[in-house]
Structure 1
Amino acid sequence: MLYNGGTAGTGGGRRRLGAAVAVLCSLSPAYAGAQFFREAPVLAQRVAAGSLPPVERRLPDNPMLLQPLDRPGDYGGSWGLAMVSRYDGLLLYRTIGYEPLVRWDPMWTRVVANVAQSFESNADASSFTFRLRRGLRWSDGRPMTSEDVVFWFEDVLNNPDITAAAPSILRSPVAGARLETPDAHTLRFTFPAPNSLFPLQLAAGQMERGPTDLPKHALTRYHLRYNPDADREAKAEGYRDWVERFLIKSQLLRAPSGPDALLRRRDADGTASLPAEPVPTLEAWVIDRLEAGSPPVLVAERNPYYWKIDSTGGQLPYIDRIETALTTSAAELPVLVRAGRVGLQARHFVVNDLAARALAEGGNRYRALPLLPTDANTVPIVFNLTHRDPVWRTLLQQRNFRVALSLLIDRRAIIDEVFGGKGEPYQIAPRPESRYYHQRLAHQYLDHDPDRANAILGGLGLDRPDADGLRLLPDGRPLSFTVLVRRDRPDSRKAMALVARQWRRAGIDAGIALVDRADTHNRIQANDFDAMVGHPEGGFDALLDAYAFAPLNWSSYFAPGWARWAMNSSDPQAVNPPPSVIRQIETYERIKGVADADAQHRMMGDVLDIAAEEFFTIGVSLPDAGRGVVRTDFRNIPKVMFETWLYPAPAPANPPLFFIERR
């Protein structure tokens, strides 16, 4: 099956929304046959000085053509962004780092070619062939070939010292997935069983570096296989071993955002200006340096070898550089807007409608950027159903206990007080716009019914109050637990405080602990938490976000022990799931072997049926539309964008086409 520029998306819901989304920017097939090209003035100056080859020698034989939304842009200027905390590196991935083999089109309706100029699968979707663009170059001018992908696959992904677990884009390399490279421009991934979701997973947001992110020629010096002295050199530089040095030089995980991780230098702490480790990339902008200040600013300069052009032959990107402020609190963002230092950003501004305050600070220099919501819930409350404490585990696995807690929540009061009356009571379930909408999962146990809840709790033997009026566990301890809430999500904190107050009236004590994103991740992997406000995924594409409804991976916060079992049943810390959950996991595995979208939809319906019957998680309300901010001189900006991790906005809307209008 040849993917002629792309393949259908995973949901009819996307197609239904498409007519309402005024995103006119289209991704054309790869450009061919151009005789003349334009380039940025700063690059033309370098060509004239003899320090850079002419633009036609820097582009591949078949550059990728992007059609501007408004018009071909003006070259120049800086795009300001703002990170928050030391675990916000995904902001850069979602703006300048999204260059996979294949990607989403701007409308999020299909997967289209990207680094690979074409791709195809065999009849049963067990083998996928990608053809790279000939003449494609890394940002240092060196050719990018299939050898770079082999380096990622063999020396990183399949090296247990570096990669403990395979990323979601592969079923599991150790289970038999293979990569063949018939020539320098051809890749063939073969799986031991059909894996029809592979192109979609390649296009979706990825926490880990992927096949197109690791230049072999720049990283082998840090790898023990290629450099026998790598371990000694790493220790001499202060690293624990060669693996630690390789991890920071390759920047394998995208999320860490301390100066050391961003610059790929262990000596960077943000107090001094430093250059970045010169590791080349295929991205439109290359991280170049950190400029010390309050806050420090990370600077990325345009890639002279970027391989995409506009409809007039102009080499992209239009904007010269990206300047990212490394802040410690979201409260600093409106201040940056007031100073005009944010160009376009949705991340963080959509939380607590920070955009409203920022727009007030920015005045007429800014406008709102409407964001189509794809989250499943405003406050996804998840309990650790595989709790290490056997008494708590037994209680939390009682479906009726979770039902009672849901019935104790006055959702309308929370919606009015925290969310300005916007939204409707809703459980954690696919949204009504999704083709995976599930009426029972979305609407069960939403009534505020304390009498029924108290009767259920009494039936569970939780009716003996202590001196403080708290119900008691079977072993006599008070029914008291802690809910983890991310520090950077003030709405979650406010809403959870109201939920806790409502639970307390029924003799249940829920304390709130504020944690950072990294702390949350670590606590999940250690199975060391009672409950938390989790991520709101699963609202639009339940097929790729199935972990929100079944324990499939680390993002299935409601049961990390069951998730361990799903990922590796022989894991000593795995917890055996009940039969219904095993059916869920097995059904989802079978979905990967089905290429027909309708059959996938029916099988995913079975997974959601079990989720509805088990009622793993509790939601509060359906999120309303959000807003980001964009400076009014920015052009080629879609009128509205999706806001979700699967479609790592704004990246699929083609930021290299964004430009700053000269005035």
Structure 2
Amino acid sequence: MTLKSSFAAGVFLGAALVCGPVAALELKETPGLSPDLPPVAERVPSEPLIVDLEARGRTIGQHGGALDTLIGRAKDVRLINVWGYARLVGYNEDLELVPDLLEDVEVEDGRIFTLHTREGHKWSDGHPFGAEDLRYYFEDVVSNEYLTPAGLPPFLLVNGKGPTFEVLDETTVRYTWDEPNPLFLPELAKSRPPFIYRPAHYLKQFHGDYGDPEFLKEEAAKVKARSWAPLQGKKDDMYNARNVDLPSLQPWVRNRDNSDLRFILERNPYYHRVDSTGQQLPYIDEIIMTVADGKLIPAKAQAGEANLQARNLSFSDITVLKKGEKQNDYVTALWSNTKGSEISLLPNLTVKDPVWRELLRDTRFRHALSLSLDRKLLNKVLFFGLGTPGNDTVLPQSPLYKPEYTTKWAEYDPDRANALLDEIGLTERDKEGIRLMPDGRPLQIIVETAGEQQVELDALELVTDMWKDIGIKLFAKPSQRDNLRERSITGELVMSVWSGMENGIPTSEMPPEDLAPVRGDLALWHYWGDHYETQGKGGEKPDWPPAERLLELYKAWLVSKTPEERTKIWTEMLQIHADETIRIGLVSGVRQPVVIKDVENVPLEGIYGWDPGAHFGIHRMDEFYLAD
């Protein structure tokens, strides 16, 4: 069963991007490319991905020009590999998985995946892309103990066992697990995917099994690497865009290494997508990323210095950006933010302090904290009333959404909050009216923040007054991201403020990792997440019934076979979060400003998120074109 007809296999049907047989399409040369390149018919696959722009309400574009955008640090050049969003399979704007770099995917019984690459597809240097590149990744990179000492990553394991990998022909490979692996395809569609293919023709020269020993020794010395393995690691840079010699399959490629302040990304002349008139994508010749102080980027965008800008812009910049539209001839689109909540308070359920641990795990305490929040006031003061007050959960755009997930235990009811705290036994107070903890300490919650968002500090000021009304004192502690994470790891963190669930628009086919204690980087439950990630070697095994059940459900999702099974799992997990108020969300649905200047095919209504979304990626940035 192929991905194109695979509802029964539990994989989303891809909306048709192909508008007709390639044989009927007359391919057109792209102006401005080097005359030394082969003709377009030899550069694109024999069956390229043909996009039907008009069927999606977009216009046929024109080639040429450079698009300017601003980044806050040099390392953000890697966003070109996010925004380009060329993936083996990727999400379309309807959140369906569709083949992209792959011509097709066959899924049998949820555990056998046959991947078909496109005949004639080439890397950005013109070398063929196919089964050998997927084989090289699986056998020579991720299965090599020197390059991957930790072994196969989780998305390639089912109950601790990896797949049987086969090369069927030059364009076809197969992965076979003993049991279903619903994690596999969604992982390939991420903003930062695992890139289960590598340019074998380029990387083999740096690999101990293939490269010349003397050459490897010389090259390792150049980058101060002790052996071929770290040398290979430095050269194998599919995500960060730091190695300008590494071939790519993305629409734009970094070919120059002459600046850390201004990056020029050039069109990939061997890119696999074409429009319905035969023009090869991308339309835009170059993406120019200029490094600027992140705090100055809103002002620079207002001054018209960017053709397309969302990075380093936030809701608080909208008023200023709107004022500059007429003078500098741009539009400020307001896209839907995909976070479960713009701001969320995260109690550390694995905090080291035993008194705090017991209190934070008491459902009544978390309910009291939530009921004491006047979210309508927070929304009005912080977001001009344009957001949605409520919990940190899935948004209405998700097919899994239910209104009660947003509203349960999120109404403003300080009397009920006080009653719950009294019920717990927190009835004694100090002379300032602050309740006393069971061990006699004043009930003072230190809420730590990375200090990166002023709106978080503004929110905490308002929450401070609201919690004071129920006898709880809040201290906001600005810190740095690394320090906050370190305190989470050591168990000293009591509570933190962060943005909400990364993916507020999930489908049942997406892994529910935001809801289960499976990630050690989440300040909500570091020890439990670390225990899962290290397979029991670190952290702590969950010993709180809701967390235990969430973990059981997550593991059930990992071996599920049908969309119905996965929907049932997601529903129970979301209900647990709603019933328990595990995260204390404040306001969701806050808009993300996107500045658009002289760029066509950028939607005025879009979604802005990391996974799924890839910022601009889900809206296909390779289809954007410059008006002039």
Q: How does 1:186-585 map to 2 (within 5 A)?
A: 186-203=172-189, 205-212=190-197, 214-227=198-211, 230=216, 233-234=219-220, 237-239=223-225, 244-251=230-237, 254=239, 262-264=241-243, 277-289=244-256, 292=259, 296-329=261-294, 331-349=295-313, 351-363=314-326, 365-465=329-429, 470-505=434-469, 506-516=471-481, 529-536=493-500, 537-541=502-506, 543=508, 544=510, 546-554=512-520, 556-585=522-551
What is the SS of the residue equivalent to 1:73?
coil
Which letter does structure 2 place at the counterpart of 1:32? V
Shift of residue 280, structure 1, vs aligned partner: 0.8
Q: Which residue of 2 aligns with 1:21?
A: none
* Cα distance change of structure 1 residues 622 and 325 upon mapping to structure 2, 3 Å threshold: same
What is the SS of the residue equivalent to 2:247?
coil
Quick one: which of 34, 41, 47 aligns to 1:56? 41
* Cα distance change of structure 1 residues 326 and 225 upon mapping to structure 2, 3 Å threshold: farther
**1:66 touches 1:657 (CA, 8 Å); kept in 2?**
no
Quick one: which of 127, 130, 141 aligns to 1:142? 127
Shift of residue 317, structure 1, vs aligned partner: 1.2
Residues 340-399 of structure 1, C-alpha deviation per residue, up to 9 Å, x if partnerless? Answer: 3322233433x2242442343343521122413432212121121112333332222222
2:70 is aligned with 1:82: yes
* Cα distance change of structure 1 residues 587 and 630 upon mapping to structure 2, 3 Å threshold: same
What is the SS of the residue equivalent to 1:188?
strand
Please, what is the CA RMSD of the aligned residues?
Answer: 3.3
Alignment: residue pair count: 617
**1:31 touches 1:64 (CA, 8 Å); kept in 2?**
no
Q: Which residue of 2 aligns with 1:601?
A: 567
Shift of residue 127, structure 1, vs aligned partner: 0.7
Aligned-pair identity (%): 28
* Cα distance change of structure 1 residues 11 and 62 upon mapping to structure 2, 3 Å threshold: closer
Shift of residue 177, structure 1, vs aligned partner: 2.5
Quick one: which of 87, 96, 100 aligns to 2:87? 100
**1:166 touches 1:173 (CA, 8 Å); kept in 2?**
no
The separation in 2 between residues aligned to 1:71 and 1:410, in whole angstroms, is: 45
What is the SS of the residue equivalent to 2:587?
coil
**2:89 touches 2:98 (CA, 8 Å); kept in 1?**
yes
The separation in 2 between residues aligned to 1:151 and 1:173, in whole angstroms, is: 24
Q: Which residue of 2 aligns with 1:73?
A: 61
What is the SS of the residue equivalent to 1:332?
helix
* Cα distance change of structure 1 residues 568 and 642 upon mapping to structure 2, 3 Å threshold: same
* Cα distance change of structure 1 residues 435 and 445 upon mapping to structure 2, 3 Å threshold: same
Q: Which residue of 2 aligns with 1:27?
A: 17
Shift of residue 339, structure 1, vs aligned partner: 4.6
Shift of residue 591, structure 1, vs aligned partner: 2.8
TM-score (norm 1): 0.83
The separation in 1 between residues aligned to 2:387 and 2:76, in whole angstroms, is: 28
The separation in 2 between residues aligned to 1:35 and 1:412, in whole angstroms, is: 55
Q: Which residue of 2 aligns with 1:657?
A: 623
What is the SS of the residue equivalent to 1:175?
coil
Moved more, 160-169 or 576-585: 160-169
Which letter does structure 2 place at the counterpart of 1:280? P
Q: Which residue of 1 aligns with 2:555?
A: 589
What is the SS of the residue equivalent to 2:596?
strand
Shift of residue 488, structure 1, vs aligned partner: 3.8
Q: How does 1:634-649 map to 2 (within 5 A)?
A: 634-645=599-610, 646-649=612-615
* Cα distance change of structure 1 residues 127 and 222 upon mapping to structure 2, 3 Å threshold: same
* Cα distance change of structure 1 residues 353 and 162 upon mapping to structure 2, 3 Å threshold: farther
Q: Which residue of 2 aligns with 1:620?
A: 586
Which letter does structure 1 place at the counterpart of 2:45? P
**1:408 touches 1:453 (CA, 8 Å); kept in 2?**
yes
Shift of residue 441, structure 1, vs aligned partner: 3.4
**1:72 touches 1:310 (CA, 8 Å); kept in 2?**
yes
Residues 315-358 of structure 1, C-alpha deviation per residue, up to 9 Å, x if partnerless? Answer: 211111011122332x3223332453322233433x22424423
**2:528 touches 2:539 (CA, 8 Å); kept in 1?**
no
Q: Which residue of 2 aligns with 1:258?
A: none
**1:7 touches 1:111 (CA, 8 Å); kept in 2?**
no
Residues 273-306 of structure 1, C-alpha deviation per residue, up to 9 Å, x if partnerless? Answer: xxxx31110011101335658xx21110111111
The separation in 1 between residues aligned to 2:20 and 2:153, in whole angstroms, is: 29
Residues 81-106 of structure 1, C-alpha deviation per residue, up to 9 Å, x if partnerless? Answer: 2223466466333312x221111223
Shift of residue 236, structure 1, vs aligned partner: 5.2
Which letter does structure 2 place at the counterpart of 1:609? Q
* Cα distance change of structure 1 residues 223 and 457 upon mapping to structure 2, 3 Å threshold: farther
Quick one: which of 159, 177, 181 aligns to 2:167? 181
Shift of residue 262, structure 1, vs aligned partner: 4.2
What is the SS of the residue equivalent to 2:83?
coil
Residues 203-222 of structure 1, C-alpha deviation per residue, up to 9 Å, x if partnerless? Answer: 2x24344224x312223344
**1:636 touches 1:659 (CA, 8 Å); kept in 2?**
yes
**2:443 touches 2:473 (CA, 8 Å); kept in 1?**
yes
**1:333 touches 1:358 (CA, 8 Å); kept in 2?**
no
* Cα distance change of structure 1 residues 231 and 510 upon mapping to structure 2, 3 Å threshold: farther
* Cα distance change of structure 1 residues 521 and 313 upon mapping to structure 2, 3 Å threshold: farther
Q: Which residue of 2 aligns with 1:22?
A: none
Which letter does structure 2 place at the counterpart of 1:79? L
Which letter does structure 2 place at the counterpart of 1:299? I
The separation in 2 between residues aligned to 1:601 and 1:210, in whole angstroms, is: 28
Residues 225-246 of structure 1, C-alpha deviation per residue, up to 9 Å, x if partnerless? Answer: 5445757853553357655544
**2:188 touches 2:194 (CA, 8 Å); kept in 1?**
no
* Cα distance change of structure 1 residues 366 and 458 upon mapping to structure 2, 3 Å threshold: same
Shift of residue 192, structure 1, vs aligned partner: 2.5
**2:158 touches 2:181 (CA, 8 Å); kept in 1?**
no
Unmatched 5+ stretches in structure 2: none
Which letter does structure 2 place at the counterpart of 1:139? S
What is the SS of the residue equivalent to 1:181?
strand
Moved more, 300-309 or 638-647: 638-647
Shift of residue 118, structure 1, vs aligned partner: 0.8
The separation in 2 between residues aligned to 1:86 and 1:511, in whole angstroms, is: 31
**2:207 touches 2:232 (CA, 8 Å); kept in 1?**
yes
TM-score (norm 2): 0.88
* Cα distance change of structure 1 residues 337 and 225 upon mapping to structure 2, 3 Å threshold: same
The separation in 1 between residues aligned to 2:338 and 2:359, in whole angstroms, is: 32
Residues 431-474 of structure 1, C-alpha deviation per residue, up to 9 Å, x if partnerless? Answer: 23433224443222223333433343344454555677654444
What is the SS of the residue equivalent to 2:340?
coil
Shift of residue 617, structure 1, vs aligned partner: 1.2
Shift of residue 413, structure 1, vs aligned partner: 1.7
Q: Which residue of 2 aligns with 1:40?
A: 30
